[in-house]
């Protein structure tokens, strides 16, 4: 069961899926990502971005401008999570019905 734990470690928590979705939808700047996710704390966002970069889900690109421009993009590899996320999504939709239906 360790691979399941590995996978959960990467995507668990309150924010990672929301952050990844935001970046996949084209938000590239820190402030854009922050604005797109209600109530996220900048310190938390910063930590999560670092985590996700380590797991190769996103790439941090530093453009050598003045002032320096930093952008985040989703890696091709991050798209491998798509099926997992779709399964989780449909299970989550169903689970809400299940709990309310009883």
Q: How far is the CB of 29 from its own copies (least distance, A)?
A: 20
Nearer to its own copies, 5 or 29 (CB): 5
Nearer to its own copies, 6 or 69 (CB): 6
Q: How far is the CB of 14 from its own copies (least distance, A)?
A: 7
Q: How far is the CB of 13 from its own copies (least distance, A)?
A: 8
Nearer to its own copies, 13 or 44 (CB): 13
**Per-residue burial over 16-54, b = 16 or more CB atoms within 10 Å of its CB, e = otherwise:** bbbbbebbbeebeebeebbebbeebeeebbeebbebbee
Residues lying near its own copies in the complex (CB under 8 A): 1-8, 10-14, 17-18, 21, 55-56, 77, 80-81, 83-85, 87-96, 98-99, 102
99: region left, alpha or beta (phi > 0 left; psi from -120 to 50 alpha): alpha
C-alpha atoms less than 13 angstroms from C-alpha of 31 in its C-beta half-sphere:
1
């Amino acid at each position: 069961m360790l691979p399941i734990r590995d996978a959960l470690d990467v995507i668990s928590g309150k924010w990672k899926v929301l952050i990844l979705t935001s970046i996949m939808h084209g938000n590239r700047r820190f402030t854009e990502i922050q604005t797109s996710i209600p109530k996220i704390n900048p310190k938390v966002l910063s930590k999560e971005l670092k985590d996700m970069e380590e797991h190769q889900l996103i790439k941090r690109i530093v453009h050598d401008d003045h002032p320096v421009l930093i952008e985040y993009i989703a890696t091709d590899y991050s798209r491998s999570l798509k099926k997992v996320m779709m399964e989780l999504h449909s299970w989550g939709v169903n689970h809400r019905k299940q709990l309310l239906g009883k």
